[in-house]
Amino acid sequence: MPAHFSQNALLLSLLLGVGQLQAAEPASPKAVATANGIPHPAVIAHRGASFDAPESTAAAYKLARDLGADYLELDLQRSKDGVLFALHDDNLQRTTDVASKFPERKNSPANEFTLAELKSLDAGSWFNTAYPDRARPAYAGLQILTLDEVIDIAQGNPRHKPGLYIETKEPKQFPGIERDLKDKLQDRGWLSPAGSKLAKSELAVGQGKGKVVLQTFEKSSLQKLQEEMPQVPKILLLWVAEGSIEPQSKVKFADSGDQDKATFYARQQPKDNAAFEQWVDFAKASGAIGTGPSATRSDLGDQSYSNLVQPWMNRYTHDLGMLVHVYTLDDDVDFKSVMDAGVDGIFTNRASELLSYYKRPATGTVAQLLELNGF
Ligand code: G3P
Ligand code: CA
């Protein structure tokens, strides 16, 4: 064989070798989770154990912690006087008695209230009225919590230390909140590298490398979080709507003829595969380690949205070496369906049920743990 033939063959095999390396299988989702210090599959207690106790209050977060949830999830806002606190809604009407304490300001955004005003509200009684079968006298008078107080709760049980899964909620309302969050986490030691013996324990997600996960629906907030805290795992939340993943149909709920939003959302689909993939690609390019897609609940309840955890979607995300944490499911039938579709963790209002589904039973019942905490 002429010399140049064998040289060409060598070159070809080197090129093929490089090609094979480039086409190598992505790391398994479990390996990606482990590398980031995130349990797999992860139990993310959505606004705390918010099926059993008023969302985002001490009762809900202490219960989620003591049940053994991996993460306490919270929506971050900033008070008029600059204090970070946990609240999902834009205003205070649904989950507090703002209408009786501040009737003239009942529709105002929560961020137009000082911390003292927020603390004067009853954030528990609404739950007793809405869910009489789960009501408890001790829920009346529960307060809105600052981020500091949620951190105290996360650190408060020596036998189980959950991590924090923090969403910058409507971040355009809060310029600079990404920096404020970084400063607070730094002050509280939550950005320090893992090092303690406890950090190596499965019971101490909140002391390991994945002790904080940051999440947002806003692309610009993801970029700011990445600038501020490049070492902290991040998730881009996914949603089908104008301004988010482009929907197939432009028909609005009001014109859809649907009786309820869940039915409307269940029919929403990305315009095409590319519309979905663009968002996952953006997440990857911006430093996220995964996505947080919506799901359709079998009960089509309040938190049922479009199904963005179809197997091809999860495969696409996994092929980019990223994780899928789906929101928000509470029933075994839905846990099974999304696990079968390939997700890596679930936001749930019922941490007790999800832990039991994953065969990680808690040390006590919901009632026992609430009572131990004085509720
Ligand atoms: O953060 C994930 C999930 O909580 C997103 O939905 O509206 O409950 O914050 P939302
Ligand atoms: Ca949230």
* Confidence band, pLDDT 50/70/90 cuts, at residue 206: confident
d(C-alpha 330, C-alpha 298), whole Å: 10
| Of 363 and 56, more confident | 56
- Residue 62's alpha-carbon distances to 59, 95, 150, in angstroms, are 5, 18, 9
- Look at residue 18 and tell me whether its pLDDT is greater than 70: no
Please choose from 44, 46, 74, 304 the residue to mutate so as to test ligand 1's pocket, defined by most ligand atoms within 8 A of CB. Answer: 46
Distance 47 CA to ligand 2 centre (A): 7
Average pLDDT value for the chain = 93
Give me the sign of the Cα torsion angle 78, 151, 67, 336: positive
| Of 158 and 23, more confident | 158
| The token pair that represents 116 in the structure block | 């003292």
| Of 23 and 179, more confident | 179
pLDDT for res 5:
37
Which contiguous run of DSSP H or E holds residue 336? helix 332-341
Q: Which of 236, 110, 226, 114 is nearest to 179 (CA)?
A: 226
pLDDT for res 208:
87
pLDDT for res 6:
43
**pLDDT tens-place string over residues 84-114:** 999 999 999 999 999 999 999 999 999 999 9
Please choose from 347, 348, 349 the residue to mutate so as to test ligand 1's pocket, defined by most ligand atoms within 8 A of CB. Answer: 347
**pLDDT tens-place string over residues 238-269:** 999 999 999 999 999 999 999 999 999 999 99
- Whether the CB of 215 sits within 6 Å of ligand 1: yes
Return the bridge partners of 234, or none: 214
Section 361-371 average pLDDT? 95
Distance 39 CA to ligand 1 centre (A): 20
The ligand with the least distance to the CA atom of 235 is 1
Structure pTM?
A: 0.92
Q: In the 8-state DSSP scheme, what is residue 45?
A: E
- Residue 249's alpha-carbon distances to 237, 256, 267, 312, in angstroms, are 21, 10, 9, 21
Exposure of 135 in the CB half-sphere (CA atoms within 13 A) = 12
Cα first-last separation, the chain: 85
Other beta carbons less than 10 A from residue 109's beta carbon? 15
Section 272-276 average pLDDT? 98
Section 264-285 average pLDDT? 97
Please choose from 327, 338, 346 the residue to mutate so as to test ligand 1's pocket, defined by most ligand atoms within 8 A of CB. Answer: 327
* Confidence band, pLDDT 50/70/90 cuts, at residue 204: confident
- Whether the CB of 327 sits within 6 Å of ligand 1: yes
* Confidence band, pLDDT 50/70/90 cuts, at residue 10: very low
Which is the closest atom of ligand 1 to the Cα of 75? Answer: 9
Alpha carbon of residue 58 to chain centroid = 18
Minimum CA distance residue for ligand 1 atom 1: 167
Helices and strands, number each (H, E), in the chain: 16, 10
Distance 81 CA to ligand 1 centre (A): 25
Distance 228 CA to ligand 1 centre (A): 22
**pLDDT tens-place string over residues 138-179:** 999 999 999 999 999 999 999 999 999 999 999 999 999 999
Return all residues near 150 (Cβ < 8 A) that are at least 6 apart. 61, 72, 74, 86, 164
